[in-house]
Amino acid sequence: MRKGMKAALAVACACAVAVSALLAGCSSNEGGSPQASQSQEGAATTVEEVQLQIFAANSLSKAMEEVQDLYHQQNPSVSFADTQYEGSGTLNEMLGAGSYADILITASKGTMDTAVEKGYVDEATRFDMFTNELVIVAGESSDIKDVTLEDLASGGYTLAVGDANVPAGNYAKQSLSTTDPQCWISADGTAGKDCSGTDGTFDGTPLQGKVTEGSSVGNVCSYANSGDVDLAMVYSSDVYRFGGVKIVSVVPDDTHKSILYPAAVCADSEHADAAEQFLNWAFTSEDAIKIWQEWGFELA
């Protein structure tokens, strides 16, 4: 009896396996081609996920965030790490200390020259990305208007500018060195476009004791907005970015070096191709250009 039951159980198991195999076969046949197609399609469309780390000048923050969002929408496989916005000199210091970045965009030729000399970027990928204007601003509620560089030389105003690590401050000091009498004196005796705007002093000038230096253009704008100073010297794009201030005059271009924003792929980038593709798109895409212009930047 037990032998009969074992035999019957064996037959039943065999039938169950056969039916299961048949059903599996039908399922495979019915969906076989689409699954294979999906698999093949998936393999064809698989793109390596890349996350880019960008170091960019402070003044680019608002515009860059919009540009990055748009690029990610159009290229889902590319995302961006927490972009670091600092004074251009500070960005170089960070790279020198071992911080990682795929892309560097500074707010002056000099700071990018330093990055090239130090080996922080691949010089072959370097190009000038944007231009900007240097302006004198006052708080929106201020009744000050139409102030020129020569008006500053009268000593009748307090002023905020960026410190040595802030390119906008370097340009401002270059311009202030051209007034008569000089409002800023460079350490090497040069003036205007011939000086760096980094080493010098306000001592012995009409602005002695009347200048507040900020570690970023945001700080410089806030000093004017709050009324801590009468005036500030920043980029025209900063007026769009921060608000709270109004332009009272545009500083003549011939009093300072050309304001350029060079960009380059970092020498240690692990995603150099993706980084270069992003920079190329950001410089040529009509959608990207529109964003830059809305924030006060013009392509170089």
pLDDT digits (tens, 9 = 90+) for 157-214: 999 999 999 999 999 999 999 999 999 999 999 999 999 999 999 999 999 999 999 9
The amino acid at 12: A
Closest among 117, 170, 132, 77 to 253, alpha carbons compared: 132
Closest among 263, 260, 297 to 280, alpha carbons compared: 263
The listed CATH number (2.40.50.140, 3.40.30.10, 3.30.9.10, 3.40.190.10) that belongs to domain 50-131+259-299: 3.40.190.10
Query: What does each C-alpha distance from 174 to 7, 49, 54, 87, 149 come to in angstroms?
Result: 101, 45, 29, 17, 11
Tell me how far apart the alpha carbons of residues 41 and 224 are, in angstroms, rounded to a whole number: 58
Residue 47's pLDDT is 61
Residue 78 has a CB neighbour count (10 Å cut-off) of 21
Pairing of strands 211-214, 127-131: unpaired
Query: What does each C-alpha distance from 241 to 57, 60, 68 come to in angstroms?
Result: 13, 9, 17
Contact 228, 161 (CB under 8 A): no
Q: Take residue 243 and report the two structure tokens written for it.
A: 């608000």
| Residues lower than pLDDT 70 in the chain | 1-47
Residue 146's pLDDT is 95
Torsions phi, psi for 84 (to 5 deg): -95, 115
Residue 23's pLDDT is 40
Residue 48's pLDDT is 85
List the strands of the sheet with 127-131, edge to edge. 84-86, 54-57, 103-105, 260-265, 127-131, 298-299
The listed CATH number (3.40.190.10, 3.40.250.10, 3.90.320.10, 3.30.70.20) that belongs to domain 134-255: 3.40.190.10
Mean pLDDT rounded to a whole number for the chain: 87
Residue 119 has a CB neighbour count (10 Å cut-off) of 13
Contact 129, 103 (CB under 8 A): no
- For the chain, where do the domains classified as CATH 3.40.190.10 start and end? 50-131+259-299, 134-255
User: Cα dihedral angle (240, 244, 248, 254), rounded to 10 degrees?
Assistant: -40
Bridge partner list, 250: 135
